Amino acid sequence: MIAIAKTVKPIDDSTSIVIDPRGPQIQSGQTQLSAYNDVVYSAPTTNGKDTRLVMDIKVSRTQGLKPLVIYIPGGGFVMAEKITNLNQLIHVAEQGFAVASITYRTVIDGASWRDSLTDVKSAIR
Protein backbone atom coordinates (compact mmCIF):
# COMPACT_ATOMS: atom_id res chain seq x y z
CA MET A 1 0.00 0.00 0.00
CA ILE A 2 1.28 3.48 -0.90
CA ALA A 3 0.89 6.24 1.67
CA ILE A 4 -0.63 9.41 0.24
CA ALA A 5 0.18 12.79 1.76
CA LYS A 6 -2.74 14.49 3.44
CA THR A 7 -1.25 17.97 3.17
CA VAL A 8 0.56 19.64 0.33
CA LYS A 9 2.95 22.51 0.86
CA PRO A 10 1.90 25.53 -1.20
CA ILE A 11 4.11 26.40 -4.15
CA ASP A 12 6.34 29.43 -3.69
CA ASP A 13 6.67 31.03 -7.10
CA SER A 14 7.28 34.55 -5.78
CA THR A 15 10.67 34.79 -7.49
CA SER A 16 9.63 33.05 -10.72
CA ILE A 17 7.87 34.10 -13.88
CA VAL A 18 5.00 31.68 -14.28
CA ILE A 19 3.54 31.30 -17.76
CA ASP A 20 -0.20 30.67 -17.76
CA PRO A 21 -0.78 27.67 -20.08
CA ARG A 22 -4.37 28.80 -20.65
CA GLY A 23 -3.20 32.12 -22.14
CA PRO A 24 -2.72 32.87 -25.82
CA GLN A 25 -0.30 30.68 -27.70
CA ILE A 26 3.18 32.05 -28.29
CA GLN A 27 3.88 33.07 -31.87
CA SER A 28 7.49 32.56 -32.88
CA GLY A 29 9.18 34.79 -35.42
CA GLN A 30 7.23 37.89 -34.36
CA THR A 31 10.00 39.51 -32.29
CA GLN A 32 13.28 40.80 -33.63
CA LEU A 33 16.39 39.54 -31.88
CA SER A 34 19.93 40.79 -31.53
CA ALA A 35 22.55 38.05 -31.68
CA TYR A 36 26.09 38.17 -30.30
CA ASN A 37 28.01 35.05 -31.30
CA ASP A 38 31.23 33.57 -29.92
CA VAL A 39 31.58 35.99 -27.01
CA VAL A 40 34.63 34.81 -25.05
CA TYR A 41 33.87 34.40 -21.36
CA SER A 42 36.95 32.46 -20.22
CA ALA A 43 40.31 31.23 -21.51
CA PRO A 44 41.49 28.36 -19.29
CA THR A 45 44.40 26.01 -19.91
CA THR A 46 43.78 22.26 -19.94
CA ASN A 47 46.74 19.87 -20.06
CA GLY A 48 48.95 22.69 -21.39
CA LYS A 49 46.47 23.65 -24.12
CA ASP A 50 44.84 27.07 -24.17
CA THR A 51 41.07 26.99 -24.68
CA ARG A 52 38.67 29.78 -25.57
CA LEU A 53 35.26 29.27 -24.03
CA VAL A 54 32.50 31.14 -25.81
CA MET A 55 28.80 31.84 -25.58
CA ASP A 56 26.15 32.92 -28.05
CA ILE A 57 23.73 35.52 -26.73
CA LYS A 58 20.25 36.16 -28.12
CA VAL A 59 18.28 39.17 -26.85
CA SER A 60 14.83 40.35 -27.88
CA ARG A 61 14.77 43.93 -29.17
CA THR A 62 11.87 44.87 -26.91
CA GLN A 63 11.98 47.68 -24.38
CA GLY A 64 13.04 47.18 -20.77
CA LEU A 65 15.30 44.94 -18.78
CA LYS A 66 15.64 41.30 -19.77
CA PRO A 67 15.96 38.40 -17.32
CA LEU A 68 18.92 36.19 -18.26
CA VAL A 69 18.60 32.50 -19.05
CA ILE A 70 21.86 30.56 -19.30
CA TYR A 71 21.54 27.47 -21.48
CA ILE A 72 23.94 24.70 -20.48
CA PRO A 73 23.95 22.06 -23.20
CA GLY A 74 23.97 18.47 -22.01
CA GLY A 75 26.30 15.84 -23.31
CA GLY A 76 27.49 13.77 -20.39
CA PHE A 77 30.69 15.86 -20.09
CA VAL A 78 31.70 14.43 -23.48
CA MET A 79 30.35 17.19 -25.71
CA ALA A 80 28.87 20.66 -25.21
CA GLU A 81 27.50 22.15 -28.41
CA LYS A 82 26.09 25.62 -27.74
CA ILE A 83 23.87 25.47 -30.83
CA THR A 84 21.94 22.46 -29.53
CA ASN A 85 18.21 23.23 -29.32
CA LEU A 86 18.61 26.50 -31.23
CA ASN A 87 14.88 26.74 -31.97
CA GLN A 88 14.04 26.57 -28.27
CA LEU A 89 16.69 29.17 -27.42
CA ILE A 90 15.27 31.56 -30.00
CA HIS A 91 11.76 30.86 -28.73
CA VAL A 92 12.75 31.80 -25.16
CA ALA A 93 14.57 34.96 -26.34
CA GLU A 94 11.49 36.04 -28.29
CA GLN A 95 9.51 36.00 -25.05
CA GLY A 96 11.58 38.89 -23.65
CA PHE A 97 14.56 37.07 -22.17
CA ALA A 98 18.28 37.31 -22.83
CA VAL A 99 19.56 33.79 -23.57
CA ALA A 100 23.24 32.86 -23.31
CA SER A 101 24.16 29.45 -24.71
CA ILE A 102 27.58 28.37 -23.51
CA THR A 103 30.38 25.97 -24.36
CA TYR A 104 32.47 24.35 -21.66
CA ARG A 105 35.43 21.97 -21.54
CA THR A 106 34.63 18.28 -21.84
CA VAL A 107 36.36 14.91 -21.69
CA ILE A 108 37.24 15.28 -25.38
CA ASP A 109 39.23 18.40 -24.42
CA GLY A 110 41.05 16.44 -21.70
CA ALA A 111 38.94 18.03 -18.97
CA SER A 112 37.21 16.45 -15.99
CA TRP A 113 33.66 17.06 -14.86
CA ARG A 114 35.11 19.43 -12.28
CA ASP A 115 36.59 21.53 -15.08
CA SER A 116 33.19 21.58 -16.79
CA LEU A 117 31.54 22.76 -13.58
CA THR A 118 34.20 25.46 -13.14
CA ASP A 119 33.48 26.65 -16.70
CA VAL A 120 29.73 26.81 -16.10
CA LYS A 121 30.28 28.82 -12.92
CA SER A 122 32.58 31.15 -14.86
CA ALA A 123 29.91 31.67 -17.53
CA ILE A 124 27.35 32.53 -14.86
CA ARG A 125 29.70 35.10 -13.31
pLDDT, residue 26, reads 62
- pLDDT tens for 76-104 read 878 788 888 888 888 899 988 999 999 99
Domains of the chain (ranges, CATH numbers)? 33-124 (3.40.50.1820)
* pLDDT score of 124 more than 70: yes
Range from 28-32, 50-54, 114-118 carrying the lowest mean pLDDT: 28-32
DSSP letters of the chain? -----S--PPP--TTSPPP-TTSPPP-TT-S-EEEEEEEEEE--EETTEE--EEEEEEEE--SS---EEEE---STTT---TTTTHHHHHHHHHTT-EEEEE----GGGT--HHHHHHHHHHHH-
Kindly tell me the burial class for residue 58, based on how many C-beta atoms sit within 10 Å of its own C-beta (0-12, 13-18, 19 or more).
buried
Q: Is the pTM of this model over 0.75?
A: no
Confidence of residue 15 (pLDDT cuts 50, 70, 90): confident
Tell me how far apart the alpha carbons of residues 15 and 118 are, in angstroms, rounded to a whole number.
Answer: 26
